[in-house]
Structure 1
């Protein structure tokens, strides 16, 4: 069935498409990776979560108000922070708050600039523009923050002897940690930059592909995709810089000394 230029996918075809995940499941079983359960859970979750979001957005598009839009964005940011912390695999006091602040502030600020200053949506809280754009920013930044934060702590630990010496010689925690912060920020930015380099040559990115499939003019779709890629680059950079500067102190005591593993609180 076709609606306004979009070819609708039937539920039967959607269920059949789940067969693509059998490839990953077979590889996991054949190579004894033990990921079959995770693959099955991820498949079920993607069905339930995306269809649920689709039905919620239908309601919000029809009866949108600023508080409903902000409520959805708030819920998205909570889940984004939770997923990022799970990927970091470190349980440190206050880490969730730092990750939440980094992802939320960077994504929401950049999304509002795009909606107000580039797309000129009316009203500013237009759910059809603000929610998807914020979601794209958060999805990209959560992966980058998880990668950068994990890299930061690993690099700090690998430099522990050097950091002990620098602090003993009078360096501040930030001065001692700065090489690790630079390394983590560079690692976090790299995937986004690589994606931008491949866009239009190796791949047609998601938003552009979606708009073309929906019947939009390819040049118009390309313009939107350019804005999205630049937006994600800015949001990612802001998020990982904030995350690194907020979290590096968790490896130092209040007096500024680097904490060896036996002196660290709550982590695994």
Structure 2
């Protein structure tokens, strides 16, 4: 008995039938970009006299590129940044003590792969949150799992999780992130319970996954946040070991930017 299989053999098909088959197959295989782009890419390929293999490469590459773009957007959305900030919008000349290659190096994300911390220290308005969000966005756009959260919000979430007996699940979720962006560390004094819960998050990520934090207080004043001197010392030790530390200084970046744009300021 002869085989009726068409595997490996091309079948004659009209263009409308081919388009219908492509649409049906793309729905089954979840290939929306191939479905939308197959016809125009086929027309372009015919004009350029590309081979069938080249046409196939083109449509599959288009699908991969679109998936990558969607993944980057999804990662950025999942990070829950409060506003949009990019490194291209930051003026590094406002940080004279910062070596020029530093931000470009950090944007590459090798420190995240190595599980190294990043600490941004400086007065309010000096660009800490801008850099924190911008570096977090760069990491998310590279496909990494990132989450931005203020210290107060994270501590409240941990306290509620502990009360609901969900603490292990929440700590596990934060431990699996590639980068945790922790903002406003040192702005508020934490009660002993909240400080200990935050310390659990820091410990869960120690030397395995990166934390980038921003604080308006020098390390010597972190005892006011964690109240227990030993706990404060342990937090500083974990967040500074192999860390990248950037001092943003005391000059308001926001005020300088506003004046540069020629907007009036209130005195």
TM range (shorter): under 0.3
**Looking at CA atoms only, which structure, 1 or 2, has the larger radius of gyration?**
2
TM-score (norm 1): 0.26
* Alignment TM-score, normalising by the size of structure 2: 0.26
Q: If each structure's helix is expressed as a fraction of its own residues, which one has the higher value?
A: 1
